């Protein structure tokens, strides 16, 4: 069974152009699925039935997995079982006609504009502070995913015209405006911060840690949490919350939904539309708070 999983992972790497994080997620889902089947004493993929898949999904539900997690796992299993049938590893698709659980819509929490100002108002005195300011300014100016931000290279920058160019999810190219404030912060970091941190190291990654190595996703999470704590922001914070805030604030100021979709790199505009619900919810909250007859 392991051989089929490895062949499938190789297939999605080559054919689908998925990110490393997505591939790791597929790998993890399938390993857990195989462990369940082993407990059920199912040793061949040909012996997996529709009932086997349903039993596994119910098992996930019973162990407290969220609807979103179960939906993602089912998506993985569908793709995998389709692969097995197409490659003649099985004679049937065990995931056929299993409905995806409906995902409950949860509105993303965002920072207010004043909270973003607090977060970004960094008095730069050290190379690390220069790096932190540049990173946070870039995140809020562009709405990048955290993996895209830490993966930026010097070649992705076009500071003379105020843009960055990157290859995002699904190998899609995006060209995103950077804005004057973020451009200035990056220029300052390149002039006075990065080379000091790099010392004698040679690589093209834009944002580095105190050793001069590329900053990791985990490093960025710690960095932004510490910054929020330092300025007294009580909300739970993450790099993705800056992405949510970027999109919400653009729409609140009248940006076109399709332009926001393009900047975020969403393949489906319905994914971007969640932010219109956020802005409506915020307007309703303001109305309830401040209107004398609300």
Catalytic site residue 33?
A: no
Do the strands 163-167 and 173-177 form a parallel or antiparallel pair, or are they unpaired?
Answer: antiparallel
Q: How far apart are CA 248 and CA 253, in angstroms?
A: 9
Closest CA to 142 of 278, 57, 242: 242
* Helices (H), ranges, 143-179: 146-150
Residue indicated by tokens 């006609």: 97
Q: 61, 72, 240, 282: which one is catalytic? A: 240
Phi, psi of 236 (to 5 degrees): -65, 130
Six-digit token pair at 198?
């790099």
Identified catalytic residue from 61, 85, 169, 217: 169
Q: Which residues pair with 123 in a beta bridge?
A: none
Catalytic site includes residue 174: no
Catalytic residue among 275, 280, 287, 293: 275
Catalytic residue (one of 194, 241, 243, 244)? 243
Residue 275 annotated in active site = yes
- 58 labelled catalytic: no
Strand arrangement of the beta sheet that strand 157-158 belongs to? 157-158, 163-167, 173-177
- From the list 61, 78, 217, 266, the catalytic residue is 266
The answer to whether 235 and 115 have CB atoms below 8 angstroms apart is yes
**Is 240 annotated as catalytic?**
yes
Q: What are phi and psi of 55, to 5 degrees?
A: -60, -40
133, 145, 174, 244: the catalytic one is 145
282 is catalytic: no
The set of catalytic residues is: 145, 169, 240, 243, 266, 275
């Amino acid at each position: 069974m392991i051989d089929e999983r490895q062949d499938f992972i190789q297939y999605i790497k080559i054919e689908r152009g998925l990110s490393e994080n997505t591939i790791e997620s597929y790998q993890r889902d399938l390993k857990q699925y195989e462990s369940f089947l082993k407990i059920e004493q199912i040793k061949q993929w040909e012996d997996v039935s529709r009932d086997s898949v349903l039993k596994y999904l119910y098992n996930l539900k019973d162990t407290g997995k969220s609807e979103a997690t179960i939906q993602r796992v089912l998506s993985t299993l569908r793709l995998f079982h389709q692969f097995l049938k197409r490659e003649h590893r099985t004679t049937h698709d065990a995931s056929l006609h299993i409905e995806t659980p409906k995902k409950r819509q949860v509105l993303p929490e965002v920072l207010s504009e004043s909270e973003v100002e607090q977060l970004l108002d960094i008095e730069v005195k050290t190379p690390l502070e220069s790096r932190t300011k540049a990173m946070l300014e870039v995140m809020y100016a562009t709405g990048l995913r955290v993996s895209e931000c830490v993966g930026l290279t010097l070649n992705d920058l076009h500071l003379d015209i105020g843009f960055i160019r990157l290859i995002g999810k699904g190998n899609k190219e995006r060209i995103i405006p950077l804005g004057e404030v973020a451009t200035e912060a990056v220029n300052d970091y390149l002039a006075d911060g990065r080379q000091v941190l790099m010392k004698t190291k040679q690589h093209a990654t834009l944002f580095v840690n105190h050793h001069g190595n590329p900053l990791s996703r985990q490093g960025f999470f710690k960095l932004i949490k510490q910054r929020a704590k330092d300025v007294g922001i009580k909300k739970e914070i993450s790099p993705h919350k800056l992405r949510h805030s970027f999109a919400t604030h653009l729409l609140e100021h009248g940006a076109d939904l399709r332009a926001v979709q393009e900047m975020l790199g969403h393949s489906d505009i319905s994914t971007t539309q969640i932010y219109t619900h956020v802005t409506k919810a915020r307007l309703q909250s303001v109305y309830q708070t401040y209107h004398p007859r609300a």
